[in-house]
Amino acid sequence: MVATLRPKAGPARSYRFPEFQEDVLPNGIRLITAPVSKLPVVTVLVIVDAGSTNDPPGKEGVAALTAGTLLEGTTELDGAELAEKFEQLGTSVESGADWDSAFAKMTILGDRAEEATTLLGHVLSNPTFPEREVERLKGERLAEILQLESEPRGLADEKFSEFLYAPDSRYSRPDEGSTATVTGLSRSDVEAFYRARYRTELTTVIVVGDMSRANARALITKAFRDWPSGSAEDRRLVATPKTVKRSLHIVDKADAPQSELRVGHVGLPRKNPDFFPTLVMNAVLGGLFGSRINLNLREVHGYTYGASSYYDWRRGPGPFVVSTAVQSEVTAPALQEILNEIDRIRSDRITDEELSLARDYLDGVFPIRYETTGAIASALATLTIYDLSPDYYATYRENVRSVSVDAVLDAAQKHLHPDRLQTVVVGDAKAIREPVGELSLGDVQIHNA
Amino acid sequence: MRIPVETFRLDNGLFVTFSEDHTAPIVAVNLWYHVGSANEKAGRTGFAHLFEHMLFQGSAHVGSNEHFELIQRAGGTLNGSTWLERTNYFETVPSNELALVLWLEADRMGELLPAMTQEKLDTQRDVVKNERRWAVDNQPYGTMLEKMQELVFPASHPFQHSLIGSMDDLSAASLDDIAQFFATYYTPDNAVLSIAGDFDAAEARRMVTEYFGPIPRGKGRPSLPSMSLPPVFGDRLREVVYDDVSLPRLFMAFRSPVFGSDGYYAASVAGAVLGMRKGSRLQRALVRERQIAADAGAFTFDLAKGADLLVADVTARPEIPVAQLEEEVEREVDLMHREGISKAELGRAIALIETDLVASLQSAGERADRLSMFATYFGQPDLINDQLGRYRAVTVDDVNEFASSQLGENNRASLLYLPRESVESETLLAAAAGAT
């Protein structure tokens, strides 16, 4: 006979987010160091304010292409030789750009960190962007776009953005560029973008792991001494919605066994005074396994393997979206359940049990999120990219705990907009057109995949 | 670098491993049951995985879905997964919640059946069917695992059938099946419990004994048909799948030594030389230099019985004819088969593997999972500390020996995905060829 009494929690041990320090190097680069010595591992993360929202119009994708080509050659070494050098040291540098920043990241064993970091600083400061490699990476991006056409999840995400934002918003187009814009990019576009934005005052280097502050500072100062000085203005971001009326877009995929669903609207920027109430509200709505939307669609109805909602946090107002894939036959009832849940969280207060589930989870899971040097470095990058307060992590749990039932209702009423919902269904149009058309989701448009 | 490892066994056969680390107030609990899709009987493909879902549907003292809720309320993360040879369940929680996790795991190991109902089974059957649609049927290349199993294992072999299962077999699963499977495989003597992170060993041992001790030992598991396989396929295997994909993609598998053997480490290093990161042969030659591939990699299945598989995975660039894709991959494999690798390639591969290994052990969940794995497959959780050494001991000769004996034409299985529209042109080509 197994013990029938549920054990109670013991006294909690205290936890502090790893101590970090911010510094400005003589040439203007910001340095953030967090010594963590659990294992002999170091993560170096370089972030530059050179994300996709700074793509010039007509050159969408240049930020991503620039970041992707950073490690493809210097005056002394070509891309293959560089890859070989890093990999002989047991690491490889991942580089890329998202909406808000460009990054280069590597994790390496402590005793090889100095050599690899010196090399990294040199390479990032002296890229030659060889024509051949720029063209190759363009080709790989074009292949990726083609792959997306047969990949329902990615396709649904991309179409959702396209139907959500006004055509002149950078957010309406893929962050890594479309076939037309990528095809038009050249080596000189990449070089010009690099010269404009890879500047000391737009750059932060983060070093986390088994390395002392003094060593990190000396190492980064030397490795990044050639980084071009100066700053640059941010391009103005347009993030207006395409429409403020509901509308429904069916992207036809004949005979698809499932419908990929995206339902949502333009959300709010990462840095906003309602961040914590909105975070907790979304956890209850669709952020947790035990959230209303997942329990409803998965555990009550068996419509799906999983359903969730999230705010895609960006500097500008990213999307709020409910995302799931359901069996084709139940597309309409599943959409109706999603609409009901959005209405319900706006009309009635959540229960104390729901509030405590979300709060206790977000509070309790906090230390589990920062077990690795890579995760800590990413968390520190978030502070810089979104210009959050240095005590953001020190006060995070307290901020989560102070959210009330009323604050959640308020966040739901202010930041969920049922009247503006845009719905995208990637699925079998002939099977779902009619039942879905009967829901009040707005005008229906059918598109080819 | 050594991870501390402590083990003991309860009277009912439950094998327990501990690894303390007090750097953060976090503890990971991980259970491996030595049962996977290989143990399914005929007509019940997908059952081990469906059963995994049922373990989250409550037990004698835990309500439906309460397992998830209690762990999340405690501030923890959790999940389970099913593989050919095992099923695992795992939680990472704040360390003051260890007792709750152990109690929950013990309740479902001891008394799952009182909570099982037809309605719950029907709902989870629908969830799993939707998982199949999502991950397999409506996903480009999503059938790779089941097509590969079918291609490379003989019909009678326990690894030959689909892990996610067929829709028909999922429909046929009954509550009787649940009861039988539970009694046969979900017993303490067929499980390993690992705890890693911030806990007190004496206190944890007391709790494990209290919660798991009363659960009766099982009656032994039915023996599987022979798992053993010849070291090579013996022939060239090839299957073409026309699917809803945009780009041709070739998975080329080689039968290789079982996980944990000396030969496995040589094969694993060979795989890294072939496909790990930008400096690997396939990346360098096919993606960078010749630009015929959009992406390339290699991986092992890590099977501990019979034989393992090493798989090269190459996706074509849009304009590349599929015959060229196959030829160029074959050429790279031929080259390694005939001429072996260099000392520098060996060094690169081992250095990358070392960093990945050490970095992954930062996570308590990862440590607990590996302890369970080595305990389940070999009865020796402390093998976790031998991995770096095993990889470092691999020589150029070891890799060349593997390449020479197992990358030859008699040991290649090609699973080739082609866009569905290309069926027509291939048929026309075949017709044209026949006409001449």
Nearest to B211 among A3, A298, A363 (CB): A3
What pLDDT, on the 0 to 100 scale, is given for residue A5? 81
What pLDDT, on the 0 to 100 scale, is given for residue A347? 98
Query: Which chain B residue has the Cα nearest residue A9?
Result: B97
- Helix, strand, coil tally for chain B in percent (to 5): 50, 20, 35
pLDDT for B161-206, tens place per residue? Answer: 999 999 999 999 999 999 999 999 999 999 999 999 999 999 999 9
Q: A336 in a domain, yes or no?
A: yes
Nearest to B355 among A11, A15, A107 (CB): A107
Q: Are residues A64 and A202 in the same domain?
A: yes
| Final residue in a domain of this structure, among A191, A223, A255 | A223
Q: Are residues A192 and A300 in the same domain?
A: no
- Helix, strand, coil tally for chain A in percent (to 5): 45, 20, 35
What pLDDT, on the 0 to 100 scale, is given for residue B63? 95
Q: Are residues A304 and A264 in the same domain?
A: yes
Residue A440 lies in domain: 247-448
CA-CA distance, A13 to B25, in Å (whole number)?
6
Q: Are residues A273 and A313 in the same domain?
A: yes
User: Average pLDDT, stretch B31-43?
Assistant: 96
| Final residue in a domain of this structure, among A223, A239, A259 | A223
> Could you tell me the domains of chain B?
6-212 (3.30.830.10), 237-435 (3.30.830.10)
Q: Could B127 and A2 be called an inter-chain contact, meaning their C-beta atoms sit closer than 8 Å?
A: no
Residues with Cβ within 8 Å of residue B420, at least 6 apart in sequence? B242, B243, B244, B245
Nearest to A90 among B64, B351, B362 (CB): B351
Q: Could A152 and B138 be called an inter-chain contact, meaning their C-beta atoms sit closer than 8 Å?
A: yes
What is the total residue count of chain A?
449
Question: Which residues 329-358 of chain A have a CB within 8 Å of chain B?
Answer: 356-357
How far B132 CA sits from the closest chain A CA (Å)? 9
Residues of B in contact with A284 (CB under 8 A): none
Q: Are residues A217 and A287 in the same domain?
A: no
Sheet strand arrangement including A319-327: A304-311, A319-327, A258-266, A422-427, A247-252, A443-448
Residue B4's nearest CA partner among B158, B196, B160 is B196
Q: Are residues A218 and A256 in the same domain?
A: no
Q: A441 in a domain, yes or no?
A: yes
CA-CA distance, A17 to A367, in Å (whole number)?
7
Nearest to B363 among A90, A107, A371 (CB): A371
**Quick check: A231 contacting B, CB < 8 Å?**
no
Q: Are residues A253 and A346 in the same domain?
A: yes
Q: A437 in a domain, yes or no?
A: yes
The residue type of A288 is: L
pLDDT for B72-116, tens place per residue? Answer: 999 999 999 999 999 999 999 999 999 999 999 999 999 999 999
CA-CA distance, B230 to A387, in Å (whole number)?
60
CA-CA distance, A273 to A275, in Å (whole number)?
6
Q: Are residues A177 and A291 in the same domain?
A: no
**Could you tell me the two tokens for A139?**
């080709």
Among B53, B91, B246, B286, which would you mutate to test the A interface (most chain A Cβ atoms within 10 Å of its Cβ)?
B246
Total structural domains in chain A?
A: 2
Let me know: does A46 contact A71? Beta carbons within 8 Å: no
CATH number of A444's domain? 3.30.830.10
The SS3 of residue B158 is coil
Print pLDDT tens along chain A (449 aa). 557 789 999 999 999 999 999 999 999 999 999 999 989 999 999 999 999 999 999 999 999 999 999 999 999 999 999 999 999 999 999 999 999 999 999 999 999 999 999 999 999 999 999 999 999 999 999 999 999 989 999 999 999 999 999 999 999 999 999 999 999 999 999 999 999 999 999 999 999 999 999 999 999 999 999 999 999 999 999 999 999 999 999 999 999 999 999 999 999 999 999 999 999 999 999 999 999 999 999 999 999 999 999 999 999 999 999 999 999 999 999 999 999 999 999 999 999 999 999 999 999 999 999 999 999 999 999 999 999 999 999 999 999 999 999 999 999 999 999 999 999 999 999 999 999 999 999 999 999 87
**Quick check: A184 contacting B, CB < 8 Å?**
no
Task: Check whether B1 has a pLDDT greater than 90.
Answer: no
Give how far the C-alpha of residue B429 lies from the chain's centroid of Cα atoms, to the nearest Å: 39
What pLDDT, on the 0 to 100 scale, is given for residue B435? 39
Residue B149's nearest CA partner among B138, B141, B157, B139 is B157
Q: A4 in a domain, yes or no?
A: no
Compute how many other C-beta atoms are within 10 angstroms of the C-beta atom of residue B220: 10
Q: Could B355 and A365 be called an inter-chain contact, meaning their C-beta atoms sit closer than 8 Å?
A: no
CA-CA distance, A181 to A176, in Å (whole number)?
9
Q: Are residues A146 and A293 in the same domain?
A: no
Q: A207 in a domain, yes or no?
A: yes
Burial class (CB in 10 A: 0-12, 13-18, 19+), B310: buried
Percent of chain B with pLDDT over 90: 94
**Could you tell me the two tokens for A96?**
């890329």
Q: Are residues A138 and A30 in the same domain?
A: yes
Residues of B in contact with A89 (CB under 8 A): 351
Query: Which chain B residue has the Cα nearest residue A11?
Result: B96
CA-CA distance, B312 to B328, in Å (whole number)?
12
Q: A150 in a domain, yes or no?
A: yes
Q: A3 in a domain, yes or no?
A: no
Let me know: does A260 contact A153? Beta carbons within 8 Å: yes
CA-CA distance, B72 to B68, in Å (whole number)?
6
Query: Virtual CA dihedral for B182, B183, B184, B189, nearest 10 degrees?
Result: 100
Task: Check whether B429 has a pLDDT greater than 80.
Answer: no
How far A254 CA sits from the closest chain B CA (Å)? 11
Name the pLDDT band for B432 (thresholds 50, 70, 90): very low
How far B110 CA sits from the closest chain A CA (Å)? 7
Residue B160's nearest CA partner among B303, B311, B310 is B303
Among B108, B112, B278, B320, which would you mutate to test the A interface (most chain A Cβ atoms within 10 Å of its Cβ)?
B278
Question: Which residues 133-152 of chain A have a CB within 8 Å of chain B?
Answer: 136, 139-140, 142-144, 146-152
Nearest to A2 among B106, B295, B348 (CB): B106
Residues of A in contact with B131 (CB under 8 A): 305
CA-CA distance, B1 to A442, in Å (whole number)?
61
The residue type of A431 is: A
Q: Are residues A122 and A171 in the same domain?
A: yes
Q: Could A372 and B246 be called an inter-chain contact, meaning their C-beta atoms sit closer than 8 Å?
A: no
Among B70, B104, B127, which would you mutate to test the A interface (most chain A Cβ atoms within 10 Å of its Cβ)?
B127
Q: A286 in a domain, yes or no?
A: yes
Query: Which chain B residue has the Cα nearest residue A297?
Result: B127
CA-CA distance, A360 to A356, in Å (whole number)?
6
**Quick check: A445 contacting B, CB < 8 Å?**
no
Among A38, A78, A87, A357, which would you mutate to test the B interface (most chain B Cβ atoms within 10 Å of its Cβ)?
A87
How far A112 CA sits from the closest chain B CA (Å)? 10
| Final residue in a domain of this structure, among A207, A223, A239 | A223
Q: Are residues A427 and A306 in the same domain?
A: yes
What DSSP string runs through B271-312? HHHHHSSTTSHHIIIIIIIS--EEEEEEEE----SS-EEEEE
Nearest to B68 among A40, A289, A370 (CB): A289
Query: Which chain B residue has the Cα nearest residue A149?
Result: B246
Name the pLDDT band for B423 (thresholds 50, 70, 90): low
The secondary structure of residue A44, as a DSSP letter, is E
Among A368, A372, A400, which would you mutate to test the B interface (most chain B Cβ atoms within 10 Å of its Cβ)?
A368
Residue with tokens 């990032």: A124
Assembly ipTM: 0.95
**Quick check: A77 contacting B, CB < 8 Å?**
no
Let me know: does B364 contact B21? Beta carbons within 8 Å: yes
